[in-house]
Amino acid sequence: MQGSYDYKQFAVLYVDDEEKSLKSFTRAFEHQFRILTATNAQDGLRLLESHPDDVGILMTDQRMPGHEGVWLLEKARRIRPRIIRILATAFSDVEAAIAAVNTGAIYKYISKPWDPPQLEATLKRALEFFLVQRERDQLLREKMSVLHHMMVADRIVSLGLLAAGLSHHIRNALVAVKTFLDLAPSKLHEENLDLNSLRNPDFWKDYHQNAQSQIQRVTQMLKDLGAASCQSSHAFTHTVHLQEAIDHARAALAPNLSEKSITLTCDIPATLPLLTVHQTSFFRFFELLLRDEIACLPPGAHIRLTAAPDTPDTHIVVRITDDGPGLSQEAIRLLFDPFLVRSDSPHHYGIDLMACYFIVHHHGGRIEARSEPGQGTTFTLHLMTNPNLQPPPQDNDEFLHKILLNDSLWEKLISSTG
């Protein structure tokens, strides 16, 4: 069983003010473990902070000049709670060791002088426990990620059906309204009504134009959302370079960019792998995303697009970063919600990003947003170069059954989404 563990994967940090003890420890265990040493608690803490992901065990003497060992162990518990903490004590320090055990500050205490074979066994068991903890935590994160994606996928299907239904009924209703508005001017003309005789004819003219514009905008919005939600029926048959999609969006949005004096720069390597996509929806994605960005940014803002291979030949990462005012964490959490009312942009429908989410999802990718108030917003796209090569959906029924029966995990899920 021991042969299945790599005991040098993570270091053992030993802190002791006696140089002789440090040398003896290193000489005795350097062949079995990766060793770091320090001569006082402060130096030990600095080593721990400078190697946050490298240390698996912290072992320290209790009595040292300056801070005692328990102080260091308590600091370690706060900044790196998963590190295994061991206190080395003389007989006279047993009470301090017992107190440390009782407060949860240490995993174990050993008596000095220590017995090398016994200490080696203790260190191995401690590292094994540390490694098992890491494996468990990683597995838990993976399971939670799968569960999250399952829930998102289920919501996408439901919202897709809803979007298709809304698109059909609302667009039909809008046709009637549009027909009325189209007929209104001609009807007034036929009845020889002088528009100048109305109280404010310019108002009615502007009203008619605005109404027509809004109808077209709502119709296009519903068309985008409906089409994006039904992408699974579209084949990925076009091979394009990412720059083509961005150039297409830039040309379509040129008036919007010019109106607000927003600059758009791109750093897209010519050597970036080609993407196999459904061209219409993929090009539309960048137009929708950038349109949302332009609508929410102040005049004179800057948008920057960068891209790089992620996994060579199979995935790329695209980042769209702005220097706008940024968003709160609550706004980020709701960013892709199709029913979000955007308080920062009252004339913006706030549904374009949901269509973007659909399009990326159906291309086998994902989209994430990160922002801090006053520091701009970054959208990160993880895209497959060829969605046709993505593996078939996994059968998650068994996993879902297990996850629902795992009380502690379900409690964590509820607490994290409450």
Residue 195 CA to residue 389 CA, distance in Å, equals: 62
CATH of region 234-385: 3.30.565.10
Vertex 4: Cα angle to 2 and 8 (nearest 5): 80
CA distances from 114 to 39, 265, 309, 323, 349 (A): 18, 63, 52, 58, 69
In this prediction, residue 409 carries a pLDDT of: 43
In this prediction, residue 318 carries a pLDDT of: 95
User: 3-class SS at 328?
Assistant: coil
Residue 336 CA to residue 360 CA, distance in Å, equals: 12
Give the start-to-end residue ranges of the domains of the chain: 2-114, 234-385
Cite the DSSP H helix spans in 84-232.
94-102, 116-190, 201-229
In this prediction, residue 77 carries a pLDDT of: 85
Number of residues written out for the chain = 418
CA distances from 410 to 140, 154, 235, 405 (A): 11, 18, 37, 8
Burial bucket for residue 394 (CB in 10 Å: 0-12, 13-18, 19+): exposed
In this prediction, residue 413 carries a pLDDT of: 41
In this prediction, residue 163 carries a pLDDT of: 56
Show the tokens assigned to 241. 């370079």
CA distances from 329 to 34, 147, 347, 372, 377 (A): 40, 22, 22, 7, 11
Residue 363 CA to residue 357 CA, distance in Å, equals: 10
In 3D space, the residue among 209, 214, 298, 215 whose CA is nearest the CA of residue 259 turns out to be: 298
In this prediction, residue 416 carries a pLDDT of: 40
Please report the DSSP string for 360-414 in residue order.
HHHTT-EEEEEE-TTS-EEEEEEEES-GGGSPPPP--HHHHHHHHH-HHHHHHHH
In this prediction, residue 412 carries a pLDDT of: 43
Neighbours of 397 (CB within 10 A): 8
CATH top class, domain 2-114: alpha beta
In this prediction, residue 417 carries a pLDDT of: 39
Residue 60 CA to residue 10 CA, distance in Å, equals: 17
In this prediction, residue 349 carries a pLDDT of: 42
Shared fold status for 2-114 and 234-385:
no
CA distances from 87 to 20, 36, 38, 58, 154 (A): 18, 16, 14, 8, 50
Residue 274 CA to residue 245 CA, distance in Å, equals: 12
Angle between helical axes of 69-79 and 94-102 (0-180°, round to 10) = 20
Residue 293 CA to residue 154 CA, distance in Å, equals: 27
User: 3-class SS at 129?
Assistant: helix
In eight-state DSSP terms, residue 99 is H
* Entry pTM: 0.46
Task: Express each pLDDT in 95-112 by its tens digit.
Answer: 666 666 655 556 777 878
Q: Please list the ranges in the chain whose pLDDT falls under 70.
A: 1-3, 91-106, 141-234, 337-351, 391-418
In this prediction, residue 403 carries a pLDDT of: 41
Q: What are the two backbone dihedrals, phi and then psi, of residue 13, each rounded to the nearest 5 degrees?
A: -100, 120
Q: Which residues contact 91 (CB under 8 A, 6 or more apart)?
A: 111
